[in-house]
Amino acid sequence: MKIWLDGGLQDIESARVSVFDHGLTVGDGIFETVKAVDGRPFALTRHLDRLTRSAVGLGLPEPDHDEVRRACAAVVAANPMPLGRLRITYTGGHGPLGSDRGEHGPTLVVALGETTRRPDSTAVITVPWTRNERGALTGLKTTSYAENVVALARAHQHGATEALFANTVGRLCEGTGSNVFVVLDGEIHTPPVASGCLAGITRALTVEWTGAKETDLPLDALERAEEVFLTSTLRDVQAVHRVDDRELPGAPGPVTAKAMRIFEERSGDDLDP
């Protein structure tokens, strides 16, 4: 296995990042997960644009898109696989043990791991913790992910693959690594970015390609929805057959099935939409 670190490919056994890297010590970093199909990254331009938005929001230097593209190309070429999770990590670099940044500059790591196609439907739970729609990191894809780790562990304990959050005012927000859509009266709705959710790449494409509406929704919309589905880089569009103790029989329902079909067709026609 080869990864990109410090400007070139390295063996995974010998690649090392400093124990004083701010991405480790204080979670001062950002990342993107990109789907790679037969060595071809999907929607890489959109992912790089969001990487830059996250860097600016965190106060990091803007990443060099050309370098990141070279790194991605080198890593997927060195590690052939049918379906991969391409992970771009960009941190504040070597720094002091406190919150102040050092002067060494950012660290860029690109790695690839093999994955498999997701099932057509899954189970989710809601959790008692909230997303802060007014926080300093809201809308940024940062490496400060421990909150998601805790929530996802609870989901697994309840036989689910995702946990859904409300925000601080009780509105439906997002999952630990996904965006959520609900079907109400035959129409597709998803929480707006103002709810505190991440502006997901797959979310944006699904909205564009299906005409879904961005709607401020109460958390109990999950109890009323005829259908529920998730979107993310590796899920694409995935139906939900259970929310907490509520079963949604026949998932994927007709609206979700159409959205799944549209996304598969459109993404297959254009690898960098």
Strand ranges (E), the chain: 2-5, 8-11, 29-37, 40-41, 83-91, 107-114, 121-131, 162-167, 172-175, 179-184, 187-190, 213-214, 227-232, 236-243, 246-247
pLDDT digits (tens, 9 = 90+) for 196-241: 999 999 999 999 999 999 999 999 999 999 999 999 999 999 999 9
Question: Of 68, 98, 114, which residue constitutes the final position of a domain?
Answer: 114
Q: Are residues 102 and 167 in the same domain?
A: no
184 and 107 inside one domain: no
Single out the residue in 47, 79, 114 at which a domain terminates: 114
pTM for this model (two decimals): 0.95
Could you tell me if 126 and 87 lie in one domain? no
Per residue in 105-143, pLDDT (tens digit) is 999 999 999 999 999 999 999 999 999 999 999 999 999
**Does 176 share its domain with 264?**
yes
Band of residue 6 on the pLDDT scale cut at 50, 70, 90? confident
Give residue 265's pLDDT band: very low, low, confident or very high (50, 70, 90): very high
Domain containing 197: what range?
121-269
Are 203 and 150 members of one domain?
yes
Domain finish residue from 114, 134, 158: 114
Does pLDDT of 192 surpass 90?
Answer: yes
Same domain, 186 and 258: yes
Domain count for the chain, please give it.
2
The domain that holds 22 is classified in CATH as 3.30.470.10
